[in-house]
Amino acid sequence: MSEKKIVIVGGVAGGASCAARCRRLDESARILMLDRGPHVSFANCGLPYYVGGIIDDESKLLIANPALFKDRFNIEARTGNEVLSIDTAAREVEVKELASGRLYREPYDALVLSPGASPVRPPLPGIDLPGIFVVRTVPDSRRIREWIDQKNAKSAVIIGAGFIGLEMAENLVLRGLSVTIVEMLNQVMPPFDPEMARPIQEHMERHGVKLALGDGVAGFDSAAGQLVVNTQSGARHTADLVILAIGVRPETALAKAAGLQVGQRGGIRVDEQMRTSDARIWAVGDAVEVRDLVTGDWTLLALAGPANRQGRIAADAICGRNSKFCGVQGTAVCGIFGLTVAGTGASEKSLQRASVTGYETVYLHPSNHAGYYPGAKPINIKLIFRKSDGRILGAQAVGEADVDKRIDVIATAIQFGGTVFDLEESELCYAPQFGGAKDPVNYAGMIAANSIRGDVLLADWRHVPLSDSFLLDVRDPEEFETSHVPGAINLPLNRIRHRLAELPRDRELFIYCGVGQRGYYAARLLSQKGFRVKNLSGGYRTYRLLAPANSIASS
Ligand SMILES: Cc1cc2nc3c(=O)[nH]c(=O)nc-3n(C[C@H](O)[C@H](O)[C@H](O)COP(=O)(O)OP(=O)(O)OC[C@H]3O[C@@H](n4cnc5c(N)ncnc54)[C@H](O)[C@@H]3O)c2cc1C
């Protein structure tokens, strides 16, 4: 029997992991990996840090090269070779050697497409002006570095406030540039819910980044040697360079031309084994549509982890194994000026888009480790779960330390179909410098589980008519005097038992404290005394995340 020939288009995250796994499973296969770029297996995720100079040696971004693929894995990696088309009937790809222009054909028994996604470049006036960059490849980031050096650039406008936009903002500030971010939405970090994005925005502004939110780009021109970004509101932002970070689009041209099925989200449609509508062709990575584990909908997700896992699963399928891709939950993290921003699963926005109802949210603001141990930092956490059975749907967290660890735990729980009752019971690492005897993850589970069990009813600040409700602030008087919600009555937790007569029995009481804990104690006390009470989730700190500055009163 002749050896199997596996051809892989794209030699980075999905493609390279597929190639290496194919070799581990089949020593006799001929494996050819084609990439039109100058590199295989480079660290796209490190590019912003190369621009910023944290990674200063370009070679550090090159994780493997064709020689290593040959020597270690007996894989032929051909860079500078672009696949132009697929002949599915003949089972051949047509390839162009870019340096010489030579065209040739390569037959395959199994073909894997991992062409990635290309940065969106909307056809706006002036989009091709020199100095407007995208960040996808090592040469892209080298060009940005060179431009900054040659032009002695002092300012940049970044279009788009997603992960790449924020990472680029930090790195350009590190290089001494003054940075403005223009974002069409009213918030940074579009996958997040707006109230969770608020501390990120404040943090960025504290680090000197100017945010022009709620304003789309209308076009570009140049004046006095600088680029000008014109926005839909009529604003004009001048800068020495512009970074486009407004998202990516799956590279599907090859697949479409070959007649492969493409889904309604615009990605290549694959089954659980990453097989396309052609039985000999697999597709992985940013180019494919995947199932959202939480909503069950098809979605696109441009992240390195899923691309690597999918590459492995396609290799398994090609080599006769029955591995299956279980879907994505969008677990992602980003660091911005010392703040860690991480999320997993559904946001409220995504649930609303998918018309999912019957969920509840809790907010909490625990410390990353025991408060008595020096250096404790708060983490803002939002947990979303199904009310009927406590199934965890998603979580977002923002803070200066150990945020990723909490989101990773919750991500694993979501993957295993876990509930808030599981979080309540999770046994996690604890010593004073690492966590709490009740970890923030346990707290999140306990608060949610208490609500489901009816031990304490939670209220969401966004749904309580503040002007009309009986708001009971159970913090200490000094805290109340510093600032409080307008109209709230202050009755400190420690005094409640002695002053029950002051509270109305014919109205529902909405209780809040600093972060929700004293409110919980008060709610338990008062409900056992026959009062109708709800604890406002996350307390005053959540109110501050949600409320516009003018609805905060101080005495
Ligand atoms: C700046 C930046 C930062 C990122 N940071 C993170 C992060 O922190 N965490 C994270 O999880 N993800 C991050 N990502 C996303 C992550 O890099 C991608 O999800 C992942 O690389 C996708 O893998 P892929 O194999 O689908 O595509 P890619 O890694 O993009 O590889 C596709 C390759 O295919 C080649 N190709 C395309 N068409 C052809 C053709 N016709 N013929 C030959 N070759 C072709 C391209 O040249 C490219 O080299 C980042 C991405 C960028 C750009």
Give the mean model confidence (pLDDT) for residues 95-109. Answer: 98
Pick the atom of ligand 1 nearest to 305's CA. Answer: 11
Q: What is the pLDDT of residues 141-160, one digit of tens each?
A: 999 999 999 999 999 999 99
Catalytic residue selected from 18, 45, 326, 334: 45
Catalytic-residue membership of 45: yes
Mutational test site, ligand 1, from 9, 32, 45, max ligand atoms within 8 Å of CB: 45
Tokens 């069409």 correspond to what residue? 184
Q: What is the pLDDT of residues 410-426, one digit of tens each?
A: 999 999 999 999 999 99
CA 436 – CA 429 distance, rounded (Å) = 8
DSSP 42-100: B-GGGHHHHHHTSS--GGGGB---HHHHHHHH--EEETTEEEEEEETTTTEEEEEETTT
CB of 7 sitting under 6 A from ligand 1? no
Q: How many residues does the chain have?
A: 555
How far, in Å, from the CA of 413 to the mean position of ligand 1?
28
Residue 448, H or E segment: helix 440-453
CB of 508 sitting under 6 A from ligand 1? no
CA 72 – CA 157 distance, rounded (Å) = 43
Contact 524, 455 (CB under 8 A): yes
Q: pLDDT at residue 550 above 50?
A: no
Pick the atom of ligand 1 nearest to 95's CA. Answer: 42
How far, in Å, from the CA of 232 to the mean position of ligand 1?
31
CB of 48 sitting under 6 A from ligand 1? yes
Backbone CA torsion sign across 312, 318, 321, 324: positive
Contact 346, 297 (CB under 8 A): no
Confidence (pLDDT) at 468 = 86
**Residue of the CA atom closest to atom 27 of ligand 1:** 116
Task: Give the full edge-to-edge strand order of the sheet including 236-239.
Answer: 217-223, 226-231, 236-239
Confidence (pLDDT) at 2 = 65
How far, in Å, from the CA of 243 to the mean position of ligand 1?
18
How far, in Å, from the CA of 176 to the mean position of ligand 1?
28
Q: What is the pLDDT of residues 290-315, one digit of tens each?
A: 999 999 999 999 999 999 999 999 99
CB of 13 sitting under 6 A from ligand 1? yes
- The type of residue at 484 is H
**Residue of the CA atom closest to atom 38 of ligand 1:** 115
CB of 305 sitting under 6 A from ligand 1? yes
Query: If we measure between CA atoms, which residue out of 168, 116, 155 comes closest to residue 12?
Result: 116
10 Å CB burial of residue 336 (0-12, 13-18, 19+) is buried
Report how far apart, in Å, the C-alpha atoms of 532 and of each of 12, 467, 498, 526, 527 are.
59, 18, 18, 8, 6
CA 517 – CA 503 distance, rounded (Å) = 20
Q: What is the pLDDT of residues 463-520, one digit of tens each?
A: 998 888 999 999 999 999 999 999 999 999 999 999 999 999 999 999 999 999 999 9
Pick the atom of ligand 1 nearest to 47's CA. Answer: 1
How many of the other CB atoms lie within 10 Å of CB of 104? 11
Backbone CA torsion sign across 418, 423, 426, 431: positive
Torsion angle of the four alpha carbons 443, 449, 451, 452, in this order, in degrees rounded to the nearest 10: 170
Confidence (pLDDT) at 28 = 97
Q: Inter-axis angle of helices 13-25 and 304-318, to 10 degrees? A: 30
Mutational test site, ligand 1, from 243, 268, 303, 407, max ligand atoms within 8 Å of CB: 303
